[in-house]
């Protein structure tokens, strides 16, 4: 589904990502872990073309997208749920969802299906986004992105700022999406949550991949987690 091959990304003169490579298979959930400032969000921005890589290649569904504009990358089937949710605060829940609709050649997400997966959003459909709780806003951000019918979903810190009970609800949403064979790249500080829903994992440290392996193996290796993640 996605191959990132030895990319180097800069902010001005600052070298942020150093020869980073990763891959995601169709229908697979992969988590990207690391401390604050490790380069996780920069990697997502490189995939999306928001902060293009200066060297290396990014290949999506066997097509190189390294130099494409962000809107073209999105149209090819990559959806992004950014950190901070970034919903439209003065639009209703339903309008937030509808505004992201994108037609594709395969079966499309529609309001009915979104509300089946997020029944709480149907109950709140006439409320403005600014009146939702943090957990409800996170559900809305994911639902809005699904209306774009992505083949690959990039989730940036979906548990950030949420109570443990709501984090569990977000985990259940991700597990539900896995059943629909959507590929997911999950960027998270919450390693417990991320490893529980993922098949494979990567750890970034100072812009470099320092670990790649099965999520379960990393979860069971407490000394390695403490060394690389401080948990």
Report yes or no on 166 lying in a domain: no
What count of other Cβ atoms lies within 10 Å of the Cβ of residue 77? 19
pLDDT band at 105 (very low <50, low <70, confident <90, very high): low
| 34-38, 109-113, 216-220: range with lowest mean pLDDT | 109-113
Domain end call among 126, 150, 174 = 150
Please state the φ and ψ torsions of residue 132, each to the nearest 5 degrees. -90, 155
User: Is there a single domain that holds both residue 52 and residue 113?
Assistant: no
**Element containing residue 17 per DSSP (H, E):** strand 14-24
Per-residue DSSP letter, 109 = P
Mean pLDDT of the chain: 90
Give how many domains the chain has, as a whole number.
2
Residues 6+ apart with CB under 8 A from 117: 143, 146, 173, 176
pLDDT band at 104 (very low <50, low <70, confident <90, very high): low
Hey, what are 124's tokens?
A: 């709140």
Residue 155 pLDDT > 70: yes
Hey, what are 204's tokens?
A: 């970034």
What count of other Cβ atoms lies within 10 Å of the Cβ of residue 218? 25
Domain range for 60 is: 1-77+152-158+182-231
Note whether 7 and 56 are within 8 A (CB). Answer: yes
Mean of the pLDDT values across residues 162-170? 84
User: Is there a single domain that holds both residue 47 and residue 102?
Assistant: no
| 36-45, 132-141, 191-200: range with lowest mean pLDDT | 132-141
Three-state secondary structure call for residue 194:
helix
What percent of the chain has a predicted confidence (pLDDT) above 70? 97
The CATH number that applies at residue 43 is 3.40.50.300
Note whether 45 and 191 are within 8 A (CB). Answer: no
Report yes or no on 168 lying in a domain: no
Residue 177 pLDDT > 60: yes
User: Is there a single domain that holds both residue 71 and residue 97?
Assistant: no
User: Is there a single domain that holds both residue 88 and residue 48?
Assistant: no
Residue 32 pLDDT > 90: yes
Report yes or no on 176 lying in a domain: no
Q: Quote the CA–CA distance of 54 and 198 in Å, as a whole number.
A: 29
Residue 106 pLDDT > 60: no
User: Is there a single domain that holds both residue 13 and residue 72?
Assistant: yes
């Amino acid at each position: 589904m996605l191959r990132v091959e030895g990319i180097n990304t800069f902010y001005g003169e600052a070298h942020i990502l150093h020869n980073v490579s990763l891959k995601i298979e169709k229908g697979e959930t992969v988590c990207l872990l690391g401390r604050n400032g490790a380069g996780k969000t920069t990697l997502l921005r490189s995939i999306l073309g928001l902060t293009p890589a200066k060297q290396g290649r990014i290949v999506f569904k066997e097509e190189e997208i390294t130099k494409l504009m962000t809107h073209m990358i999105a149209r090819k089937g990559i959806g992004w749920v950014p950190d901070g949710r970034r919903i439209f605060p003065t639009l209703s829940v339903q309008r937030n969802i509808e505004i992201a609709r994108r037609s594709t050649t395969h079966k499309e997400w529609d309001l009915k299906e979104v509300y089946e997966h997020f029944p709480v959003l149907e109950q709140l459909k006439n409320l403005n986004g600014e009146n939702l709780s943090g957990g409800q806003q996170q559900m809305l951000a994911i639902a809005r992105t699904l209306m774009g019918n992505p083949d690959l979903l990039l989730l940036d810190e979906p548990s950030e700022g949420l109570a443990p009970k709501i984090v569990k609800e977000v985990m259940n949403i991700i597990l539900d999406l896995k059943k629909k064979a959507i590929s997911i790249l999950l960027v998270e500080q919450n390693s417990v949550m991320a490893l529980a829903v993922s098949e494979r994992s990567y750890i970034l440290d100072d812009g470099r991949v320092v670990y790649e392996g099965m999520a379960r193996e990393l979860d069971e290796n407490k000394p390695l987690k403490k060394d690389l993640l401080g948990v």
